[in-house]
Amino acid sequence: MKAVVIGAGLAGLAALHALTSSGAEAVCFEKAGVPGGRVITARREGFIFDLGAQFFFHSYNTCFQLAKEFGLYDDLTTWECRSGLLNKGRFLPIVPSTNPRDIATNLGETLRFVAKAGIPFQAMRQFLGLLPTLVKRHKDLDLIDFERALDLDNESLADFVLRRGGQAILDYYIHSLAAGLTLAKADDLSAMYGLGLLCSMIKGVLTFRHGLGCISERLGDRYAGCIHYHTPVQRIVIEQGKVKGVEVNGGLVEADAVIPAVTATSLLEMAPGLPESLKRPLQQVTYSACCHVIFALPAPLFPKDWYALLLHGRTGACVSAFCDNSMKSPYYSPQGCAQIGCWTYDRHARELNDRPDAEVRRVLVKEIQRYMPHMPDTPLFTEIYRWREAVCIAPPGMLGGIAHLKRNNYRDVKGLYLAGEYLHMPSVESAAKSGIDAARAALR
């Protein structure tokens, strides 16, 4: 069998690995010059920057399996996500965790947060309205096997929170979590996806000591011989319900199996011949945007051991959170230095994505100084990365449509095997799992 994989993001790399390990002849076309897609790490002057995905959750079994196979498992590390709000110049942190030891250790801090963070009592009370669903449904809210939670797919996270809790908890807590995790507003994603992420997050997060992108780099190195970089696929050629191959540089590369491991929007553009049964659910897939700005700093900005400063919905800020990524591992910043990542989101991100670097830098320095006046006007240097399609945000109804597609229409075009993060609750894990599943289906 000859297979073509389109895209060397985690979905494409995982597909390539599964195909090649089974002895199939496979080639991958990637339009960028490096592997990883949205799992990519940059290194500069002793700093490590995760430009796209930031962390794994503890349920990322496919990613952990890949980490094992590629000698990275021992490099996984976790850190305390001490995050908080700023109230009247005072930093008030909380460690979101379901680990009984963490809860006991941080009890005093949690109580201080509840009493002093400036969150109205009403919001705390409303939070209790959400708890029964989280407790009762946390097992159903599995990022990969999500079908048991499909009843939560038909309304937005915002509508769900308003119905069960209220406006205050939405503005003060859920807004910043949704925006921090998806770079979109709670109105834009389904309750199922929002709650799924929330349940995963409170169990803790992980990265690799030397950057999350290490996994893409290892896979990219192993399969360097099969990946053609700077080679965009123009079209997937489908004739009479069967894949013929792909068009690259104006020529046809014939294949028995094609695995498009790209975003749903790219797939729709490159495969105009898709049947309606595939097109319709793919048209529901949407993405947030992010102008990701990271400042390298000579000294920490946050109090000791802080990871994130969350900005709740009523601040009107263009960022959902500022994060000090030096907390991830000692290798992320040179000793004594820090790095602050700014998560711009929603319309703010789309606007900033069209502005020149100098203006983006100025806007973000000012934004940080609103909350932390000691932010220097001139950081050591700045990394700006513009994501036009950042996180797949699973709007209401999308995952229901995808579940239907996977059950009934996955094989509607012979030789075409979809992969990409949109095939489960969107995440790096979903991308990797979808790539392996697509390869296995092709091999069958």
Ligand X SMILES: Cc1cc2nc3c(=O)[nH]c(=O)nc-3n(C[C@H](O)[C@H](O)[C@H](O)COP(=O)(O)OP(=O)(O)OC[C@H]3O[C@@H](n4cnc5c(N)ncnc54)[C@H](O)[C@@H]3O)c2cc1C
Quote the least distance from Cβ 246 to ligand X, whole Å: 9
Looking at the Cβ atoms of 199 and 428, the one nearer to ligand X is: 428
Select 164 or 235, whichever has its Cβ closest to ligand X: 235
* Least separation in angstroms between CB 140 and ligand X: 19
Q: How far is the CB of 278 from ligand X (least distance, A)?
A: 17
Q: Does residue 11 interact with ligand X by CB under 6 A?
A: yes
HEC assignment per residue over the chain: CEEEEECCEHHHHHHHHHHHHCCCEEEEECCCCCCECCCCEEEECCEEEECCCCCEECCCHHHHHHHHHCCCHHHEEECCCCEEEEECCEEEEECCCCCHHHHHHCHHHHHHHHHHCCCCHHHHHHHHHHHHHHHHHCCCCCCCCCHHHHHHCCCEHHHHHHHHCCHHHHHHHHHHHHHHHHCCCCCCCEHHHHHHHHHHHCCCEEEECCCCCHHHHHHHHHCHHHEECCCCEEEEEEECCEEEEEEECCEEEECCEEEECCCHHHHHHHCCCCCHHHHHHHHCCCECCEEEEEEEECCCCCCCCCCEEECCHHHCCCEEEEEEHHHCCCCCCCCCCEEEEEEECHHHHHHHHCCCHHHHHHHHHHHHHHHCCCCCCCCCEEEEEEECCCCECCCCCHHHHHHHHHHHHCCCCECECCCCHHHCCCCHHHHHHHHHHHHHHHHC
What's the min distance (Å) between Cβ of 133 and ligand X? 23
Q: How far is the CB of 46 from ligand X (least distance, A)?
A: 22
390 binds ligand X (CB under 6 A): yes
When binding is defined by CB under 6 A, the residue of 3, 4, 5, 7 that contacts ligand X is 7
Taking CB under 6 A as the binding criterion, the range among 9-17, 237-245, 299-307, 365-373 that sits at the site for ligand X is: 9-17
In whole angstroms, how far apart are CA 401 and each of 43, 268, 281? Answer: 39, 16, 5
Using CB under 6 A as the binding rule, whether residue 66 contacts ligand X is answered as no
Considering beta carbons, is residue 119 or 238 the nearer one to ligand X? 238
Task: Please report whether residue 52 would count as binding ligand X according to CB under 6 A.
Answer: yes
Q: Kindly tell me which of 158 and 391 has the beta carbon lying closer to ligand X.
A: 391
Q: Does 29 bind ligand X (CB under 6 A)?
A: yes
How many residues of this chain bind ligand X (CB under 6 A)? 37
Work out the angle between the directed axes of helices 157-164 and 121-137 (0-180°, nearest 10).
Answer: 110
346 touching ligand X, by CB under 6 A: no
Residue 122: CB minimum distance to ligand X, A: 31
Residues 247-286 that bind ligand X (CB under 6 A): 261-263, 266, 270
Residue type, 192: M
Asked whether position 290 contacts ligand X by CB under 6 A, the answer is: yes
Site membership for ligand X, residue 144 (CB under 6 A): no
The yes or no reply on residue 31 touching ligand X (CB under 6 A) is yes
Distance in angstroms (rounded) separating the CA atoms of residues 252 and 236: 9
In the list 55, 113, 172, 322, the residue contacting ligand X (rule: CB under 6 A) is 55
Closer residue to ligand X in complex, CB, 274/431:
431
Query: How many Cβ atoms from other residues are within 10 Å of residue 246's Cβ?
Result: 24
Q: Which residue's CB is nearer to ligand X, number 84 or number 426?
A: 426
CB of 182 to ligand X, least distance (A): 9
Q: Which is nearer to ligand X, 15 or 186 (CB)?
A: 15
Q: Per CB under 6 A, does 180 bind ligand X? A: no
Q: Is 394 in the site for ligand X (CB under 6 A)?
A: no
Q: Would residue 322 be called left, alpha or beta, if left means φ above 0 and alpha means ψ between -120 and 50 degrees?
A: beta
Q: Select from 306, 387, 394, 437 the one that contacts ligand X (CB under 6 A).
A: 387
**Does 4 participate in binding ligand X (rule CB under 6 A)?**
no
Torsion, Cα 34 37 39 42, to 10 degrees, reads: 40
If one asks whether residue 421 binds ligand X (CB under 6 A), the answer comes out as: yes
Q: What is the closest distance, in whole angstroms, from the C-beta atom of residue 261 to ligand X in the complex? A: 5
- Give dist(CA 123, CA 139) in Å, integer: 26
Is residue 15 close enough to count as binding ligand X by CB under 6 A?
no
Question: Contacting ligand X (CB under 6 A), which of 20, 54, 156, 339?
Answer: 54
Residue with tokens 């992010």: 290
Nearer to ligand X, 169 or 348 (CB): 348
For residues 32 and 380, which CB has a smaller minimum distance to ligand X in the complex? 32
Nearer to ligand X, 293 or 368 (CB): 293
> Which residues sit at the interface with ligand X, rule CB under 6 A?
6-12, 29-32, 37-39, 52-55, 232-233, 261-263, 266, 270, 290, 292, 387, 390-392, 420-421, 426-428, 431
